[in-house]
Amino acid sequence: MLDALTVATAVAALALAAWCGWAAYRDQPTKDWHFIGMAVVTLLTLVQLVVGIVQLARGEKPEQGTTIFVSYLIGSFACIPAAGFMSLAERTRWGSITVAAGGVVLAVLQVRLYDIWGG
Amino acid sequence: MAATDKQPGRTRLIGGPGILLVWLYGVMVVGAVSRSAVQIATEFGKAPLAYSLSAVAGLVYGFITYSLVRGGETARRAALVCCAAELAGVLTVGTWTLAEPSAFPDATVWSDYGMGYLFIPVLLPVTALFWLRRSRAVTS
């Protein structure tokens, strides 16, 4: 369950990065549709956070330690909203690039999460 | 943001490409600070030098992020100095980890020129130095 979510989130994050990268390439700021996309990816990370905590509560142990696992879950959850707010403040192509960078960062976090859980 | 808008006298450092820099520096702050905090709290004895260096890197990143967000000529100069120090740190520690791996039983943020962080630690200060120098050219 958690592994499938991690893979799905990583793919969604990369798709978001490509989409916002495309907007930046066309010299456009982030639009409503991009924010809906960010909301979808953030929802995935939220589900992942909840599922991760439920797994911990059921007594399963992440391979590389609970503290690191939980910090990465929280980091993943906060990543896209933070980039989204920054793109609201910067209504140019650079706002779009910031969200694209956020997507890449989230994908990297997901790879690390996969390792930390021991998938 | 609102605070900087009210003071037109201050050079805004986070317009355009600056916002991307702030974002990446912010990510590095969280990465370096939380990583070193966990490592220092749980296994400091294993690699004290590596963990201390990560903590210092986190502090430098934090200061640069704050300077960028604050804006103004003083902050710009301070950030410029810190970015130069950061670049020197990455190059020194990067070379050091390659030349003498035994000094580092565990990785730092700056090990192998920041390879574990997609080389962002070495690319970021170079980009920031260019950006901060350009910001002065625009305002003066």
- pLDDT 10s digits, B54-78: 999 999 999 999 999 999 999 999 9
B124 within domain boundaries: yes
- Give Cα A77 to chain centroid, integer Å: 6
B1 within domain boundaries: no
Going B56 to B60 to B61 to B63, the CA torsion angle's sign is positive
Going A50 to A54 to A60 to A61, the CA torsion angle's sign is positive
What CA–CA distance (Å, rounded) separates A6 from A107? 9
A103 backbone dihedrals φ, ψ, rounded to 5°: -60, -40
pLDDT, tens digit, 9 for 90 and up, residues A16-68: 999 999 999 999 999 999 999 999 999 999 999 999 999 999 999 999 999 99
Q: Tell me whether B16 touches chain A (CB under 8 Å).
A: yes
Query: Total structural domains in chain B?
Result: 1
* Confidence band, pLDDT 50/70/90 cuts, at residue B137: low
Helix H, strand E, coil C: the string for chain B is CHHHHHCCCCCCCCCCHHHHHHHHHHHHHHHHHHHHHHHHHHHHHHCHHHHHHHHHHHHHHHHHHHHHHHCCHHHHHHHHHHHHHHHHHHHHHHHHHHHCHHHCCCCCCCHHHHHHHCCHHHHHHHHHHHHHHHHHHHHC
B6 within domain boundaries: no
Give the pLDDT score at B9: 60
B80 within domain boundaries: yes
What CA–CA distance (Å, rounded) separates A64 from A116? 5
What CA–CA distance (Å, rounded) separates A55 from B41? 25
Give the pLDDT score at B118: 85
Whether this model's pTM surpasses 0.95: no
The residue-averaged pLDDT of B86-93 equals 94
Q: What is the CATH number of domain A2-117?
A: 1.20.120
Where are chain A's structural domains? 2-117
Res. B2: pLDDT tops 60: no
Q: Tell me whether B56 touches chain A (CB under 8 Å).
A: no
pLDDT, tens digit, 9 for 90 and up, residues B3-52: 444 445 678 888 889 999 999 999 999 999 999 999 999 989 999 999 99
- In chain B, the residue whose alpha carbon lies closest to the alpha carbon of A97 is B20
Give the pLDDT score at A97: 96
**What are A41's two structure tokens?**
């990816």
Going A85 to A90 to A91 to A94, the CA torsion angle's sign is negative
**Residues of chain A with pLDDT > 70: what percent?**
99
Q: Which domain holds residue B116?
A: 12-139
Q: Is A90 exposed, middle or buried (0-12, 13-18, 19+ CB in 10 A)?
A: buried
Give the pLDDT score at B135: 82
Of B16, B19, B34, the CB nearest to A86: B19
Res. B138: pLDDT tops 80: no
B122 within domain boundaries: yes
- Identify the residue among A86, A93, A113 best suited for mutation to test binding to B, counting B beta carbons within 10 A and taking the highest: A86
- Contact assignment for A95 to B19 by CB distance below 8 Å: yes
The residue-averaged pLDDT of A69-73 equals 95
